[in-house]
Structure formats: C-alpha cells, structure tokens
Amino acid sequence: MYQGSGGRGWNALSRGQQIGIGVVGILVLFALLSGGSSLGRLGDPLWLLAVGVIILVALPVHEMAHAAMAVQLGDPTPRMQGRYTLNPIAHIDPFGALLILFTGFGWAKPVQWNPGNIDVDVRLGTILVAAAGPVSNLVLAAVGAFLVPFADIPMLERFLSFFVWINALLFVFNLIPIPPLDGSHILFAILPGDYFQLRMALSRYGFIILLAAIYLGRGFISGLAGQIVRWLFLAFGS
C-alpha cells in the first residue's frame, strides 16, 4: 500500500484505503442481496466477542510474528517502526478489521522490514517472515481447539469454536498468493529466476484480483478452513 497524491475526501485516501472500502462495501452488498445470511451472525453476541478478540489479540499476534521473525533474522526495522509489539493500536487496519466482522477474514497493517539487513539467504528469510503470520493463526486455532473440550459452559464452547474458525480462515486467507497477502511473498521467493514483470503486474492489480478471489472463491476458502478446523478438533478430541 502507498499514500495517494493528496486532496480532499475520497482523493485524500490512499489507494489501499479506497480499495479496502470498496471490498467491504461490495461484500456487505452481496450479503444483503443474497438474503443477508452472512449478516445474520452479527446479532450473535458470541460472534461479536470472538471478532473483538481476533482484532485485539489474534491480529496483533499475527503481525508481531512477522516482526519478531524479521528481528530474529537481524533486521531492526519492525522494532524501529514500533511494530515489535502486541499493542493492537500499532497493528489494526480499520477496513481489514471491518471485513473480519462481516466475513471472518481480513487483515491488519502490514509490517515493513528490510531484506538487506537479514543474516540468511533473502529468499529463505522472505519465506520465514511471510509464513510467520499465518502460522501464528494456525497455532492460535490449535490452542482454541485444545481448550474446547474443557469448556463446560456452552457459551464458552461456542465462543472458542468461533475463535478457532476465524483463525483457520485467517490462516488460509493469508496464504493466498495474491499481493498484498503473505502468500504472494512466499510465491515470489520460491519462483526460480527473475519474475519482475509478474511481480509488477500482480502488485499493480493485486487488490482487484484479491477482490475477485474473495467473491468467487469464498466457498473454497471456507471449505479449506473448515477442513482444518475438523482436523484440529479431531486431533484434540473435540
């Protein structure tokens, strides 16, 4: 994401903010036109509580994982920019958070880091930094699934199930190989040779492609996340 050229109102927003508003607006409109089933859970206090915990805990953990991996590899940039923290204020993107409320997946502000500062091969470092965030969501989902059998209160069990579900969605969503998601950095790192033109094309049209992927592939994303949730509950006897 980058800052726009200035102006008032809509023109004062960055391109990423404009597209973020468009993504949320289109998804909400789609939910309304499809009968509002996607919005029905907004009346469930446990869903709202789970979303709140995701925004205040899971997203900061996700971004902190990126920052911590970069710092561990020798780059002080995340620490210098105040991103080496679990403070949600440092990480929350309002449009990405709103998208989580409506769909269960979204994003936080991306952590910046400098590959030139790391102590390992740049490709390996890129993969490690990019994968750290989604892996943290998988770990959180596993922790939630582990706790479900100990939840004697039905409301707590339902809340933990929502928590597991959203973290599984975030794990799958962030591994989609479309900019600016983490999966795109992993893809560019493992591709052989120089794919500069491909990188530029995907970076330029990444948000448009991502919007199409969310709209057309939402069932696939949810299905894959659901399979992960079933594996986790099976592994922990839930």
Q: Is 157 a catalytic residue?
A: no
**Type of residue at 83:** R
Cα–Cα distance measured from residue 101 to residue 43, given in angstroms and rounded to the nearest whole number: 11
Which residue has tokens 């500069």?
196
Provide the 8-state DSSP code for 116.
Answer: G
Q: C-alpha angle with apex 64: 238 to 171, nearest 5 degrees?
A: 40
User: Which of 115, 119, 122, 120 has its CA nearest to residue 78?
Assistant: 115
Quick check: helix, strand or coil at residue 201?
Answer: helix
Cα–Cα distance measured from residue 210 to residue 201, given in angstroms and rounded to the nearest whole number: 13
Catalytic residue, chosen from 27, 55, 63, 222, is: 63
In 3-state terms, the chain is what percent helix, strand and coil (to 5)?
75, 0, 25
Give yes or no for a contact between 20 and 110, defined as CB atoms under 8 angstroms apart: no
Cα–Cα distance measured from residue 50 to residue 159, given in angstroms and rounded to the nearest whole number: 6
Quick check: helix, strand or coil at residue 36?
Answer: coil
Give yes or no for a contact between 67 and 78, defined as CB atoms under 8 angstroms apart: yes
CA 98 from centre of chain: 12
Catalytic positions, written as ranges: 63
